[in-house]
Amino acid sequence: MDTVIGIKTRLMREYYRYFSKYAKGKVPEEPVAWVTAFTPVEILKALGISYYYPESYAAVIAASEKEQEYIKESEKRNLSRDCCSYSCCFNGSLLLEEGPRGVPPKPDVLIATNNQCNTLPAWWNTLADEYDVPLIVLDYPGESCDRAEAASYVKKQHEMLTEAMEKLSGRRLDEEELLRLVNNSERSVEAWNLLISNLKTKDISPTTLFDDINFLITARCNEDTAKLYDMMDKECGTLEDADPLSIPVFWLGYPLWYHADRYLKELMDGLRITGSNYITWWSLDYSGEDVYEKLFNAYNYTFLNLLQKSRDKRLHKLIEDSGAKGAIVLHNKSCKCDFVSARNVGLPQAELDTDMIDREYLNLEKAKLQIELLKETICRG
């Protein structure tokens, strides 16, 4: 019988089996793609292509406290520390050919999207240079142009991606299989949304959610993912209610991957995270009449690809639902696109200069004072 631990182990084992530490020299039989976090992976999965997420692996590296060594290695090869730390950390690991789980299997193709930022396609170019393999960049205009025009433009690119992946895999795309996988993703999102709604009322650790969103990123179209989140949600029902005396706050920004708790737990005495925007970023909307419309809606309207007005609307709803009285806002050196997310939040905030990977960007003493001040402001208000 499946258990939460059992499914997690299975998903992790499947994902990491060809990483150099575990592969024992074996290489994947199917073609390998390295993809960005908002790539329409359903198309790849339907064609039997394995995919890996360099960003996620950078988070794993930081959690294992190796990021400084790898960032320095990248710097030696002229990749500026000003660049996204995910890239500096991951590329350093490749250069040294080491990492907590080794390095991922070499790519046959690189796929980058610009629906979260423009940095990723640039980073992917450095990988294309290193491995000399084809690079496919997908352009998602977001809300910056007419919806029908955007839909047709994105559809063309999804079709082009399909064609390229068919050539790579030597298979023909089965649209029914693609639809089945898209439906799996949709189910994973539904189950995840239900699970994270417990954060407001139950004594659930934000660390669990920051870590376990990883399955929604790396295995969203796998049936196991929805099953896992359903089971976790049921388990939440048995947890105690959250301490009613603690102050509810919203965590606005990335988890701090290098931190054992992924957030500044040690500075948050008396505060409780009741909501976070990061954990909703992969709650993609797969609605649509046909499979290409579903993919368009899901991948064109990701949170970081929205205009300020839509972001504000989405954030206000999240914050309202969380009941938060204040926000801890992270000004993340690596993610300019997230700089403006909190512009119109309308809550007392502690804005901390951070980086999600590079621990050296956080001034802990300053952060402590800022969070204390936030607490005082909320209590006085």
Partner 1 sequence: MKILSMSGFIPEHISDTIRFTQYGGDRNISNYCGYASDFISRVMADDTIDGAVYPKSCDSTRILTSYLSECNKFLFQFGIPPYNVSGAKEHLACEIKAYKEAVEAHYGVRIDDIKERAEFINKRNEALRKTYEELDSLSYSDYMEKLHEMLEKPLAMQEWSGDIRKREKTGKRVYVVGSFLSDTRLAKIIEDASLTVAGDDLPESGRLVYSEPVETEGDIYLNIAGSILSMRPSPTQVSFKKTMDHDFESIRKKDVRGIIFLTQKYCEPYDYLYSVFSKEADKAGIPAVQIKVNGTEDTGKAALALEAFADMI
* Binding flag, residue 112, partner 1 (CB under 8 A): yes
Nearer of residues 81 and 202 to partner 1, judged by Cβ: 81
Give me the 229-248 binding string for partner 1, x by CB under 8 A, dash otherwise: --------------------
d(CA 214, CA 287): 22
Give, as ranges, the residues between 313 and 332 that touch partner 1 (CB under 8 A): 331
Give, as ranges, the residues between 353 and 372 that touch partner 1 (CB under 8 A): 353
Instruction: Give the angle 244-204-371 at the CA atoms, nearest 5°.
Output: 65
Read off the tokens for 142: 């977001």
Nearer of residues 333 and 375 to partner 1, judged by Cβ: 333
Nearer of residues 112 and 168 to partner 1, judged by Cβ: 112
Nearer of residues 5 and 145 to partner 1, judged by Cβ: 145
Eight-class DSSP state of 139: -
Nearest to residue 213, comparing CAs of 201, 229, 224, 202? Answer: 229
Instruction: Give the angle 205-206-211 at the CA atoms, nearest 5°.
Output: 105
d(CA 311, CA 256): 22
Give, as ranges, the residues between 55 and 94 that touch partner 1 (CB under 8 A): 74, 77-80, 82-84, 87
Nearer of residues 72 and 234 to partner 1, judged by Cβ: 72
Give me the 137-156 binding string for partner 1, x by CB under 8 A, dash otherwise: xxx-xx-xxx--x--xx--x
Alpha-carbon dihedral of residues 154, 156, 160, 163, nearest 10 degrees?
A: 120
d(CA 179, CA 259): 38
Read off the tokens for 176: 């029914």
Read off the tokens for 86: 């995910």
Give me the 158-177 binding string for partner 1, x by CB under 8 A, dash otherwise: -xx-----------------
Residue ranges in contact with partner 1 by CB under 8 A? 74, 77-80, 82-84, 87, 112, 114, 117-119, 121-126, 128-129, 135, 137-139, 141-142, 144-146, 149, 152-153, 156-157, 159-160, 307-308, 331, 333, 335-337, 339-340, 343, 353
